[in-house]
């Protein structure tokens, strides 16, 4: 068999060169042509990419310009809102402080008035009690004197020279208690001292032997005490009424002040909330604006750099194509003779003769015998290598390498087979753990996606509501504009007519006054005076109507202006809310898309892990070939491959000898 292979090699070496085979120079020319095509293709791809990038630069620049303009306007509006709310908050804080001071003052006044009222009431009750007691004693003493005047026990009253003496007689007669007598004596003495200070020395004769004078004195004291009691009661009633009025007034002032302060505090909280919201929006908008400005600042430079890089790359490709064309031309013109001389006797025969070598056949027979796909693939690769490489020594080396690699692979598989179970256990454990981790990650991502979708839907619903409100506000604004325009048009028409009437009346008045001022007839003057009077009444009515009409127009204009201002503020706020909620919803949607991508990746990875785990189960759990049979089969395969390798080594030596012999014969013939 070895001699047959050597004969085939010698015949192939002596055979003429096949037209299908190419020399190295031709291969070089082909490679240069391929490289030129590749460079041209790269240039076309680069041109297309640059055109797309240039278009993107232009679109991006326009978008950034619009965003910067919009952001600048929003920043200005938000700053104005913050300034307005800051001013409003300062005014409300000052108002709250003033109201708080007023409330404290009113509460202090009410507390002081309440204390004074309590003192007055206590004094009145004490005075009333005292006067009531005195009146009761005086009435009782007077009644006793009037009743007992003629009794034997009261005969001593005739000798009494004073009320004091009379009271002593009444005590001795047991018609009056000593305590009551003492109080009455003190009262009489006080009254007497008062009379002495007003009238001079007392008239003692009044009491001499006149019990009737004593009664009159007591009655006078009773009347005076009753007068004092009545006066005290009137004073108490007046004081109570004044206190109640003052209390009601202070209570109302405190209530209204507290109501105003609660309203001011509510407005202050709303103003601070608006300011806080505007401040937060300003921070976000300012950051976005700064990012847009910075991005636009670098965008032009980046685009110019890309254009310069594209020009340099285009120039470089042109130079490369010129160099390749020059090299191709030089090789074609200068190497024709050298190539013909160098490669005319070194061409080998086609691969179909070498495909029948014993080495390839031996490997194929071994693959069929052992039913090994790997050996069948090796035989195919050996055959392909021989067909493509001819009969050179490099091809034999490559084929030998393939066989050696297969031998090493089989030996390695034989060694790894001993640790197959440990490998299966390790891989199964790792795959199972990874499957659990990916399952948990998939559940986590699914939950987060559901949450973000719900939040986005809620925000979109809020945006829709805000847009409906904005549409309603726009409709209301249009109606208000129409009403205001109609009111203003009516005012202009009516006021012009009214002014025209006033001017006409004034003109008529002037004509009549001038005429009747010159006339001397009394009857004519009387009639003219009536007309002038009526005209003056008309002038007054017209003037009053014009004034009221003007006032109504000014009020309506002011109310419309205030409404427009409030509508603008509310419109800006709702528009900003809708914008940022839509932006936030878009961010959530983007996050959902990103998370969905992550979930898809995790799901794919989980599917791959599950698939790999199933394959591991098939490989590790299924019943495998017994180790002894696998060992014997591999040893047989390795031995067969070594035989094929030995055949190749012997054939390579024969080919080298044949080639040398052929070359020497060719040189001698030449």
450 and 537 part of one domain? yes
User: How high is the pLDDT of residue 104?
Assistant: 93
Q: What angle do CA 307, 309, 314 make, to 5 degrees?
A: 95
Q: How far is CA 138 from CA 125, 135, 180, 223, 228, in A?
A: 20, 5, 9, 10, 14
- Determine contact, residues 295/66, Cβ cutoff 8 Å: no
Task: Please identify, among 578, 604, 619, the residue that sits at the C-terminal boundary of a domain.
Answer: 619
| pLDDT greater at residue 507 or residue 357 | 507
580 and 607 part of one domain? yes
| Residue 212 pLDDT exceeds 70 | no
Quick one: which of 338, 425, 393, 345 has its CA closest to 664? 345
Stretch among 49-53, 86-90, 295-299, 591-595 having the lowest mean pLDDT? 295-299
| 486 inside domain | yes
437 and 520 part of one domain? yes
User: How high is the pLDDT of residue 370?
Assistant: 67
Query: Using a CB cutoff of 8 Å and minimum separation of 24, what contacts does 121-125 make?
Result: 121/236, 121/240, 124/232, 124/233, 124/235, 124/236, 124/239
- Rounded CA separation 572/584 (Å): 18
Q: Total domain count for the chain?
A: 4
Grouping H, G, I as helix, E, B as strand and the rest as coil, residue 420 is helix
Query: Using a CB cutoff of 8 Å and minimum separation of 24, what contacts does 318-322 make?
Result: 320/39, 321/36, 321/39, 321/40
- Determine contact, residues 250/113, Cβ cutoff 8 Å: yes
Query: Using a CB cutoff of 8 Å and minimum separation of 24, what contacts does 433-439 make?
Result: 434/609, 435/606, 435/609, 435/610, 435/613, 438/602, 438/605, 438/606, 438/609, 439/606
- Rounded CA separation 595/591 (Å): 6
Over residues 604-658, the pLDDT tens digits come to: 888 888 888 787 777 766 444 565 676 777 777 777 777 777 766 665 555 555 4
User: How high is the pLDDT of residue 332?
Assistant: 65
Give the DSSP letter of residue 623.
P
Rg (CA), the chain: 64
- Determine contact, residues 395/382, Cβ cutoff 8 Å: no
Average pLDDT over residues 268-286: 89
| pLDDT greater at residue 36 or residue 170 | 36
| 536 inside domain | yes
Q: What is the CATH number of the domain that holds 91?
A: 1.10.287
564 and 432 part of one domain? yes
Average pLDDT over residues 486-496: 89
| 141 inside domain | yes
User: How high is the pLDDT of residue 166?
Assistant: 65
DSSP letter for each residue of 576-621 = HHHHHHHHHHHHHHHHHHHHHHHHHHHHHHHHHHHHHHHHHIIIII
Q: What spatial distance separates the first Cα and last Cα of the chain, rounded to whole Å?
A: 34
DSSP letter for each residue of 1-64 = -HHHHHHHHHHHHHSPPPTT---HHHHHHHHHHHHHHHHHHHHHHHHHHHHHHHHHHHHHHHHH
| 423 inside domain | no
| pLDDT greater at residue 109 or residue 528 | 109
- Rounded CA separation 33/21 (Å): 18
User: How high is the pLDDT of residue 297?
Assistant: 79
| 246 inside domain | no
User: How high is the pLDDT of residue 201?
Assistant: 40
Average pLDDT over residues 481-508: 87
Residue 632 domain boundaries: 2-21+347-418+625-669
| Residue 19 pLDDT exceeds 50 | no
Q: What's the token pair of residue 213? A: 């004078």
Average pLDDT over residues 585-589: 88
Give the DSSP letter of residue 642.
H
| Residue 9 pLDDT exceeds 50 | no
599 and 489 part of one domain? yes
| Residue 264 pLDDT exceeds 50 | yes
Q: What is the CATH number of the domain that holds 590?
A: 1.10.287.620
Q: What's the token pair of residue 495? A: 């006021």
Task: Grade residue 292 by pLDDT with cuts at 50, 70 and 90.
Answer: confident
Q: Where are the alpha helices (DSSP H) in 356-417?
A: 358-370, 373-389, 393-417
| Residue 116 pLDDT exceeds 90 | yes
User: How high is the pLDDT of residue 343?
Assistant: 44
Quick one: which of 117, 127, 137, 139 has its CA closest to 229? 127
Average pLDDT over residues 501-515: 80
Quick one: which of 567, 386, 401 has its CA closest to 469? 567
362 and 321 part of one domain? no
Over residues 589-618, the pLDDT tens digits come to: 888 888 888 888 888 888 888 888 787 777
User: Which residues are CB-contacts of 642 (< 8 A; sequence separation ≥ 6)?
Assistant: 407
Stretch among 91-105, 166-180, 544-558 having the lowest mean pLDDT? 166-180
Over residues 468-480, the pLDDT tens digits come to: 988 988 988 898 8
User: How high is the pLDDT of residue 529?
Assistant: 65
DSSP letter for each residue of 196-263 = HHHHSS--GGGGTT-HHHHHHHHHHHHHHHHHHHHHHHHHHHHHHHHHHHHHHHHHHHHHHHHHHHHH
Mean pLDDT, the chain, as a whole number? 75
Q: Which of 88-102, 165-179, 192-206, 428-442 has the highest mean pLDDT?
A: 88-102
Task: Please identify, among 334, 360, 381, the residue that sits at the C-terminal boundary of a domain.
Answer: 334
- Rounded CA separation 157/170 (Å): 8
| Residue 234 pLDDT exceeds 90 | yes
User: How high is the pLDDT of residue 628?
Assistant: 65
Q: Which of 42-56, 171-185, 252-266 has the highest mean pLDDT?
A: 252-266
- Rounded CA separation 501/484 (Å): 25
User: How high is the pLDDT of residue 167?
Assistant: 66
| 373 inside domain | yes
Q: Which of 18-32, 49-63, 234-248, 489-503 has the highest mean pLDDT?
A: 234-248
Task: Grade residue 144 by pLDDT with cuts at 50, 70 and 90.
Answer: confident
Task: Grade residue 108 by pLDDT with cuts at 50, 70 and 90.
Answer: very high
Give the DSSP letter of residue 319.
H
| pLDDT greater at residue 243 or residue 181 | 243
448 and 597 part of one domain? yes
User: How high is the pLDDT of residue 59?
Assistant: 85
Over residues 315-336, the pLDDT tens digits come to: 877 877 777 777 667 666 655 5
Average pLDDT over residues 115-125: 92
399 and 505 part of one domain? no
Task: Please identify, among 578, 599, 619, the residue that sits at the C-terminal boundary of a domain.
Answer: 619
User: How high is the pLDDT of residue 98?
Assistant: 92
User: How high is the pLDDT of residue 549?
Assistant: 86
User: How high is the pLDDT of residue 17?
Assistant: 40
| Residue 202 pLDDT exceeds 60 | no
Q: Given CA atoms 150, 154, 156, 158 in this order, what sign does their dihedral have? A: negative
- Rounded CA separation 197/189 (Å): 12
Average pLDDT over residues 120-146: 84
| Residue 269 pLDDT exceeds 50 | yes
| Residue 484 pLDDT exceeds 50 | yes
Rounded to the nearest 5°, which phi and psi values hold at 177?
Answer: -75, 155
- Determine contact, residues 157/144, Cβ cutoff 8 Å: no
487 and 595 part of one domain? yes
Can you say how many angstroms the Cα of residue 162 is from the centroid of all Cα atoms in its chain? 101
Quick one: which of 377, 387, 381 has its CA closest to 355? 387
| 478 inside domain | yes
Rounded to the nearest 5°, which phi and psi values hold at 356?
Answer: -95, 10
User: How high is the pLDDT of residue 643?
Assistant: 75
47 and 71 part of one domain? yes
| Residue 546 pLDDT exceeds 50 | yes
Stretch among 27-31, 242-246, 262-266, 267-271 having the lowest mean pLDDT? 27-31
Task: Grade residue 82 by pLDDT with cuts at 50, 70 and 90.
Answer: very high
User: How high is the pLDDT of residue 357?
Assistant: 57
Task: Give the burial class of 14: count Cβ atoms within 10 A of its Cβ; 0-12 exposed, 13-18 middle, 19 or more buried.
Answer: middle
User: Which residues are CB-contacts of 40 (< 8 A; sequence separation ≥ 6)?
Assistant: 321
Quick one: which of 270, 650, 609 has its CA closest to 441? 609
Average pLDDT over residues 206-220: 60
Quick one: which of 122, 36, 640 has its CA closest to 359? 640
| 243 inside domain | no
User: How high is the pLDDT of residue 157?
Assistant: 56
526 and 576 part of one domain? yes
Over residues 150-192, the pLDDT tens digits come to: 554 455 555 555 666 666 666 655 555 666 667 677 666 666 5
| pLDDT greater at residue 496 or residue 23 | 496
272 and 414 part of one domain? no
Q: What is the pTM of this model?
A: 0.34
Average pLDDT over residues 80-104: 91
């Amino acid at each position: 068999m070895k001699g047959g292979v050597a004969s085939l090699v010698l015949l192939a070496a002596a055979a003429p060169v096949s037209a299908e085979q190419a020399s190295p120079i031709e291969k070089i020319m082909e490679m240069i042509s391929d490289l030129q095509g590749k460079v041209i293709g790269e240039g076309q791809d680069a041109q297309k990419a640059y055109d797309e990038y240039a278009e993107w630069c232009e679109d991006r620049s326009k978008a950034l310009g619009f965003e910067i303009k919009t952001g600048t306007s929003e920043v200005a509006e938000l700053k104005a809102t913050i300034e307005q709310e800051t001013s409003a908050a300062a005014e409300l804080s000052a108002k709250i402080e003033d109201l708080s001071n007023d409330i404290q003052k009113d509460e202090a006044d009410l507390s002081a008035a309440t204390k004074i009222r309590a003192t007055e009431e206590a004094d009145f009750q004490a005075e009333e009690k005292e006067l009531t007691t005195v009146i009761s004693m005086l009435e009782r003493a007077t009644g006793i004197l009037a009743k007992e005047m003629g009794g034997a026990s009261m005969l001593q009253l005739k000798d009494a020279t004073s009320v004091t003496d009379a009271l002593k007689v009444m005590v001795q007669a047991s018609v009056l208690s000593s305590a009551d007598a003492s109080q009455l004596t003190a009262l009489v003495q006080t009254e007497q001292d008062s009379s002495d200070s007003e009238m001079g020395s007392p008239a003692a004769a009044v009491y001499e032997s006149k019990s009737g004078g004593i009664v009159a004195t007591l009655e006078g004291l009773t009347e005076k005490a009753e007068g004092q009691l009545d006066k005290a009661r009137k004073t108490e009633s007046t004081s109570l009424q004044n206190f109640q009025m003052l209390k009601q007034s202070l209570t109302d002032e405190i209530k209204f002040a507290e109501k105003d302060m609660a309203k001011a505090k509510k407005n202050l909280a709303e103003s601070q909330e608006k300011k806080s919201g505007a401040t937060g929006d300003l921070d976000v908008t300012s950051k976005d604006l700064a990012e847009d400005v910075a991005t636009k600042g670098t965008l032009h430079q980046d685009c110019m750099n890309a254009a310069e890089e594209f020009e340099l790359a285009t120039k470089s490709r042109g130079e490369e194509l010129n160099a390749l064309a020059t090299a191709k031309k030089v090789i074609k013109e200068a190497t024709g003779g050298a190539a013909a001389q160098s490669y005319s006797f070194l061409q080998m025969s086609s691969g179909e003769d070498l495909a029948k070598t014993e080495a390839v056949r031996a490997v194929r027979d071994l693959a069929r015998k052992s039913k090994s796909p790997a050996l069948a693939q090796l035989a195919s690769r050996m055959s392909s290598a021989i067909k493509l490489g001819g009969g050179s020594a490099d091809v034999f080396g490559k084929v030998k390498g393939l066989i050696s690699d297969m031998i090493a692979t089989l030996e390695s598989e034989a060694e790894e087979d001993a640790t197959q179970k440990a490998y299966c256990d390790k891989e199964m454990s790792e795959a199972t753990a990874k499957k659990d981790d990916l399952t948990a990650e998939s559940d986590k991502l699914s939950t987060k996606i559901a949450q973000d979708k719900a939040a986005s839907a809620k925000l979109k619903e809020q945006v829709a509501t805000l847009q409906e409100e904005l549409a309603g506000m726009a409709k209301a604004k249009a109606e208000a504009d129409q009403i205001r325009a109609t009111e203003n048009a009516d005012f202009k028409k009516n006021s012009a007519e009214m002014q025209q009437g006033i001017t006409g009346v004034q003109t008529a008045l002037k004509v009549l006054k001038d005429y009747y001022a010159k006339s001397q007839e009394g009857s004519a003057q009387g009639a003219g005076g009536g007309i002038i009077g009526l005209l003056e009444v008309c002038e007054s009515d017209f003037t009053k109507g014009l004034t009221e009409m003007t006032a109504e127009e000014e009020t309506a204009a002011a109310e419309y202006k205030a409404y427009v201002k409030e509508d603008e503020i509310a419109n800006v706020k709702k528009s900003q809310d809708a914008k940022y909620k839509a932006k936030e919803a878009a961010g959530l949607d983007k996050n959902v898309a990103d998370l969905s991508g992550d979930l898809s990746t995790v799901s794919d990875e989980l599917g791959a892990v599950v698939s790999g785990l199933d394959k591991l189960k098939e490989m590790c759990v299924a019943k495998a070939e017994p180790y002894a049979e696998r060992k014997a089969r591999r040893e047989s395969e390795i031995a067969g491959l070594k035989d094929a390798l030995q055949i190749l080594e012997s054939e390579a030596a024969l080919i080298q000898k044949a080639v040398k012999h052929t070359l020497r014969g060719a040189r001698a013939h030449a």
